[in-house]
Amino acid sequence: MKSAARVSAVAEQKSDVLENVDYRLALTAEDKDEIYRLRYRAYLREGAILPSPSERVSDEYDDLPNSFIFGVYVNGELYSSIRISVLNSQWRRSLSSDMFADLLHPELDRGKIIIDPTRFVADHEKARLFPALPYVTVRLGYVACAHFNADIGLANVRPEHRAFYKKVFLQEPWGEPRLYSGLTKPVGLVAAHYPSIRDRVFQRFPFMRSSAFERRMLFDRPAPDAFTDSFRIQAVAKAG
């Protein structure tokens, strides 16, 4: 009941939920290090990892060209973080894509564009002060889906969270939980066909919408590269 009441309260909020929120793409070593330390604290607190002398969590996907690591800042302080990986037939490496290659690679072979948000972590104490934080953070996946004209939006979640993602974000279970290297608890895959569920999610949570300007600011590369060129070509092909 408490969870349902919180969902209802967040759903009733409009765009003002984003008033003091700043999404920052982690580009410098210092920005990334702050996020890696937040990951460590969050994972350690929930028992998902064992203690490590480095007190940081990073992996091979953090520096891939198709990965975007965001910090979510509220009133200038880091509250949460999420990594958005963008997949197509050419760029197909991500945490979920490697874990669930048998499920996702066939979709990429069919020409689908997939958004894979992973490494969603939050500062526990700060999250208690901002109940909408999970929604504000996950919103970046919806922004990415719109920007890249995605077919499928994923979430990589623990089994006990699958019911929440199905109820709130209309994502269905795709894969049984599997254990990723470095984690002590398995995670499962949930997914939705973005064009089919988009309007229903936006109707319930209007602040999930984004403008073209915001999408460009968050996801456009400062200079053309092979990654952005591949999606530009695919977008033209899909439009035609």
For every one of its 240 residues, what pLDDT tens digit does the chain have, with 9 covering 90 and above?
A: 345 445 555 555 545 899 999 999 999 999 999 999 999 999 999 998 999 999 999 999 999 999 999 999 999 999 999 999 999 999 999 999 999 999 999 999 999 999 999 999 999 999 999 999 999 999 999 999 999 999 999 999 888 888 889 988 999 999 788 888 777 888 899 999 999 999 999 999 999 999 999 999 999 977 667 787 777 666 656 655
Handedness of CA 77, 79, 85, 86 (dihedral sign): negative
Per-residue CA distances from 145 to 1, 85, 182, 217 (Å): 31, 11, 28, 15
Q: What's the pLDDT score for residue 103?
A: 96
Beta strands in the chain (DSSP E): 21-25, 67-74, 77-87, 114-122, 152-157, 172-178, 187-193
Q: Which residues of 220-232 are buried (b: 16+ CB within 10 A; e: fewer)?
A: eeeeeeebbebbe
Handedness of CA 221, 14, 169, 24 (dihedral sign): positive
Indicate the burial class of 164 (C-beta count within 10 angstroms; 0-12, 13-18, 19 or more).
Answer: middle
Q: What's the pLDDT score for residue 185?
A: 82
Q: How far is residue 194's CA from residue 60's CA, in Å, rounded to a whole number?
A: 27
Residues in Cβ contact with 117 at an 8 Å cutoff, skipping those fewer than 6 apart: 82, 83, 84, 85, 138, 140, 141, 144, 153, 154, 155, 156
**Using an 8 Å Cβ cutoff, are 218 and 140 in contact?**
yes
